[in-house]
Amino acid sequence: MRDAEAPIAPPEELITREELQLAARNHGMPLEALRYDITPVGLHYLLIHYDIPFVDPDTWKLTITGRVRRELALSLEDVRTRPATTVPVTMECAGNGRASLAPRPISQPWLLEAVSTAEWTGTLLRPILDEAGLEEDALEVVFAGADRGVDGGQEQDYERSLPVEEATRDDLLLAYEINGQPLPPQHGFPLRLIVPRWYGMAQVKWLRTITAVAEPFGGYQNVQRYRLRQEESELGEPLTRMAPRALMVPPGIPEYLSRTRVAPFGPCRLEGRAWSGGAPIVRVEVSADGGNTWGDADVGAPPAVTAWHPWSFRWEPKEPGAYVLCCRATDALGDTQPLQPPWNLGGYANNAVQRIAVSVIA
Amino acid sequence: MRDAEAPIAPPEELITREELQLAARNHGMPLEALRYDITPVGLHYLLIHYDIPFVDPDTWKLTITGRVRRELALSLEDVRTRPATTVPVTMECAGNGRASLAPRPISQPWLLEAVSTAEWTGTLLRPILDEAGLEEDALEVVFAGADRGVDGGQEQDYERSLPVEEATRDDLLLAYEINGQPLPPQHGFPLRLIVPRWYGMAQVKWLRTITAVAEPFGGYQNVQRYRLRQEESELGEPLTRMAPRALMVPPGIPEYLSRTRVAPFGPCRLEGRAWSGGAPIVRVEVSADGGNTWGDADVGAPPAVTAWHPWSFRWEPKEPGAYVLCCRATDALGDTQPLQPPWNLGGYANNAVQRIAVSVIA
């Protein structure tokens, strides 16, 4: 049995074998894939809490139950014959950046790569909830997947609730395709929830039950994981929308093991993506001196309001040498990124600015 | 500048940040995906030495040059209009198992997941080499990709040679599709080499030049990496064909962080895959007591001679408790797997038997 929240590694500690086991299964998006508006399948980041379950599409049903006037049980065919919507959505793991915290919360040890944008096709959730008819006392809606495991000493299916006002937003999707293809097993075949602008923990995969409840949901993934807190004894704030962040395609070429970058002397077009779950991105800044001075990047329109903005910046290093490149996003609410990582017990929402060491050689 | 071969971590050392950077980019195949004959795209393991390069398919050409009577320059259209072949191929990274060695060679820290089987479609290499006409003094054929980086202090494109007798085998493929889809960027778009039965380092991605040479090729990836040796001063043996290995789908359900397994008491069907680059698999054995006693599994036919064999085993634990499951493959040459990891400086070809701790609960 384990602590409810991630155990903490002392500052000097290297990555444990348990963290490596997770890192070998899950994977981020190599940052050079920031070049794509839509992340190719297979490059999209993956965080799978337990195992990828086997789901038989012929017997699979989606049940809508609980505090509803009319229970529904939809086959995959039922879902697919409803009106279809396709939307590009940028999704980021709430734990992105965790491995750069000190001391380091022990869980999936993400550096920066746990973000991607896919084009999801499915049917809107709202009309299905309307058809089922939420009772007036419905407070939250619980989404349960077919993935099962043990966490915090409790055997459980992966379950997450949304407040009813979020669950009835008009942009939540039950998705059965990614980038025009049927969902592959690792992305939640046959059906997953898509909650634009929220962190990945809300995007329940292998969805099989939607339950309206009249009491606050006490499930492990809502109450014990995915909360911002400094100590076990705090209840803390739940993770919801993605904090603003900009990331850059590392310029030049890498050294195999250290991943340090080497770039030829001369003008260099830096490019990347920026996003925020709170509001559109209004500014991206770039620094070539580790965050002392900043210049404004050109920020383009996103492929959809639910997806990342492209940005670019012409960098002209004055001379060969060692540089530290940074980028920083600001959204329309004025929210921006800190230079130092914001620490919390679960290692969530660390949107400290990216730092890339580059050797510019003559 | 780094050592030519992987540096070595002392036995007690945990995973370094450099290894984590590689583990966050590259990824294995979660072992539950051993259930598929053909690994779904996105679950296939990935080892990318440098960055995924951007290749423009409209200007891309494949050049066949060097010790040939007629240089060829083929467009993607030229390649795609040649006769097509589709073949399922099991591919494994030569470094699979590296992270379980002690002391641990520092490079991509694979546990067991760096293996997969894809259905590759392309055109055979042999007729293209015949058309170019290898000169009689051609000794090796060098395959160069568009991926560039620094390794061992040398800036280089990724290049690997094959002896001419291997390069002219009748089953080498220039592949432009995986599982019926155009190659995604991470698998070598627009074209990659497929060398059935060999480890992954031979399967050059983002292929753009094939050069016949009359002298032994001295490239870094042939001469300094991918050799079996105990010390830097040895030349060592080159890695070629995959050693025999069986892997098992971990039974039951996992604990999130430790990945330890919990299974209910009762009969349990164990299943997995087994393969060898040397010869067909003739035997798979299973142990439920950590390798003290073994029983024979049922071994099925592979989807192709170049792909893994399915196997299954009915396990009936006598009582609830802690078990250590193992599996072991033997091929038609009599080659099998050791219980203890075979150590070498680069951490290659560690085919020690898999061990899975399972708690069987009443």
CA distance A85 to chain B (A): 24
Tell whether B218 is covered by a domain. Answer: yes
Q: What is the pLDDT of residue B132?
A: 98
Burial class (CB in 10 A: 0-12, 13-18, 19+), B77: exposed
C-alpha dist (Å) from residue A304 to A115, A191, A308, B58 = 16, 22, 8, 28
CB contact under 8 A, B28 and A32: no
Q: What is the mean pLDDT of residues A32-38?
A: 98
Q: How far apart are CA B323 and CA B249, in angstroms?
A: 15
CA B118 to chain CA centroid, nearest Å: 12
CA B100 to chain CA centroid, nearest Å: 17
Q: What is the mean pLDDT of residues B213-232?
A: 96
CB contact under 8 A, B42 and A186: yes
- Is there a single domain that holds both residue B15 and residue B133? yes
- CATH classification of the domain holding B320: 2.60.40.650
Q: What is the mean pLDDT of residues A70-84?
A: 98
DSSP reduced 3-state for B264: strand
Q: How far apart are CA B116 and CA B22, in angstroms?
A: 19
CA distance A165 to chain B (A): 30
- Is there a single domain that holds both residue A345 and residue A254? yes
Tell whether the model's pLDDT for residue B16 goes beyond 90: no
Q: What is the number of domains present in chain A?
A: 2
H helices of A113-173, in order, are 125-132, 164-167
Tell whether the model's pLDDT for residue B2 goes beyond 60: no
- Is there a single domain that holds both residue B122 and residue B259? no
Q: What is the pLDDT of residues B85-106, one digit of tens each?
A: 999 999 999 999 999 998 889 9
End-to-end CA distance of chain A: give it in Å, rounded. 56
- Is there a single domain that holds both residue B54 and residue B164? yes
Q: Do residues A320 and A229 touch, judged by C-beta distance below 8 A?
A: no
Q: Which chain A residues touch B48 with a CB distance below 8 Å?
A: 30
- Is there a single domain that holds both residue B253 and residue B232? no
Q: Which chain A residues touch B35 with a CB distance below 8 Å?
A: 54
**What does pLDDT average to over chain B?**
95
Q: Do residues A327 and A286 touch, judged by C-beta distance below 8 A?
A: yes
Tell me whether strands A295-296 and A281-287 are parallel, antiparallel or unpaired. antiparallel
Q: Do residues A113 and A26 touch, judged by C-beta distance below 8 A?
A: no
Tell whether A299 is covered by a domain. Answer: yes
Name the β-bridge partners of A73.
A63
CB contact under 8 A, A25 and B20: no
Residue that wins the pLDDT comparison between B7 and B287: B287
Tell whether the model's pLDDT for residue A12 goes beyond 60: no
| Minimal Cβ distance to A52: which of B23, B27, B32 | B32
**Chain A residue whose CA is closest to B25:** A30
Q: Do residues A43 and A116 touch, judged by C-beta distance below 8 A?
A: yes
Phi then psi for residue B307, to 5 deg, are -125, 170
- Is there a single domain that holds both residue A315 and residue A218? no
How many helices (H) and strands (E) chain B has is answered by: 5, 24
CB contact under 8 A, A109 and B250: no
Q: How far apart are CA A194 and CA A175, in angstroms?
A: 7
The residue from A209, A238, A267 where one domain ends is A238
Tell whether A1 is covered by a domain. Answer: no
Q: Which residues contact A58 (CB under 8 A, 6 or more apart)?
A: none
Task: Using pLDDT thresholds of 50, 70 and 90, give the confidence band for residue B1.
Answer: very low
Residue A125, both tokens: 């959730």
- Is there a single domain that holds both residue B137 and residue B282? no
ipTM of the complex: 0.94
Tell whether A2 is covered by a domain. Answer: no
The residue from B238, B255, B285 where one domain ends is B238
- Is there a single domain that holds both residue A230 and residue A262? no
Number of residues written out for chain A: 362
Q: Which chain B residues touch A50 with a CB distance below 8 Å?
A: 253-254, 256
CA distance A22 to chain B (A): 7
Tell me whether strands A261-264 and A354-361 are parallel, antiparallel or unpaired. parallel
Q: What is the pLDDT of residue B15?
A: 82
- Is there a single domain that holds both residue B309 and residue B334? yes
Per 3-state DSSP, chain A is made up of helix, strand and coil in percentages (nearest 5) of: 10, 40, 50
| Minimal Cβ distance to A25: which of B28, B41, B258 | B28
CA distance A154 to chain B (A): 9
Q: What is the pLDDT of residue A74?
A: 98
CB contact under 8 A, B184 and A41: yes
- Is there a single domain that holds both residue A131 and residue A82? yes
- Is there a single domain that holds both residue B124 and residue B194? yes
Tell whether A334 is covered by a domain. Answer: yes
CB contact under 8 A, B255 and A151: yes
Name the β-bridge partners of A271.
A312
Q: Rounded to two decimals, what is the model's pTM?
A: 0.95
Q: What is the pLDDT of residues A183-242, one digit of tens each?
A: 999 999 999 999 999 999 999 999 999 999 999 999 999 999 999 999 989 999 999 999
Q: What is the pLDDT of residues B230-270, one digit of tens each?
A: 998 999 999 999 999 999 999 999 999 999 999 999 999 99
Report the share of chain B in percent with pLDDT over 90.
Answer: 93
- CATH classification of the domain holding B178: 3.90.420.10
Q: Which residues contact A179 (CB under 8 A, 6 or more apart)?
A: A38, A40, A41, A118, A119
- Is there a single domain that holds both residue B13 and residue B65? yes
Tell whether B2 is covered by a domain. Answer: no
Which residue from A7, A333, A53 is spatially nearest to A186, judged by alpha carbons? Answer: A53
Residue A362, both tokens: 């003559």
CA B337 to chain CA centroid, nearest Å: 17
Give the domain range for residue A228: 8-238
Q: What is the pLDDT of residue A13?
A: 60
Q: What is the pLDDT of residues B107-144, one digit of tens each?
A: 999 999 999 999 999 999 999 999 999 999 999 999 99
Q: Which chain A residues touch B180 with a CB distance below 8 Å?
A: none
Tell whether B3 is covered by a domain. Answer: no
CB contact under 8 A, B113 and A2: no
**Chain A residue whose CA is closest to B97:** A24
Task: Using pLDDT thresholds of 50, 70 and 90, give the confidence band for residue B5.
Answer: low
Tell whether the model's pLDDT for residue A4 goes beyond 50: no
The residue from B190, B209, B238 where one domain ends is B238
Q: Do residues A224 and A238 touch, judged by C-beta distance below 8 A?
A: no
Tell whether the model's pLDDT for residue A1 goes beyond 50: no
Tell whether the model's pLDDT for residue A2 goes beyond 50: no
Tell whether B48 is covered by a domain. Answer: yes
CA distance B274 to chain A (A): 20
C-alpha dist (Å) from residue A75 to A3, A69, A157, B78, B268 = 38, 20, 21, 45, 30
What value does the CA radius of gyration of chain B take, rounded to a whole number of Å?
Answer: 21
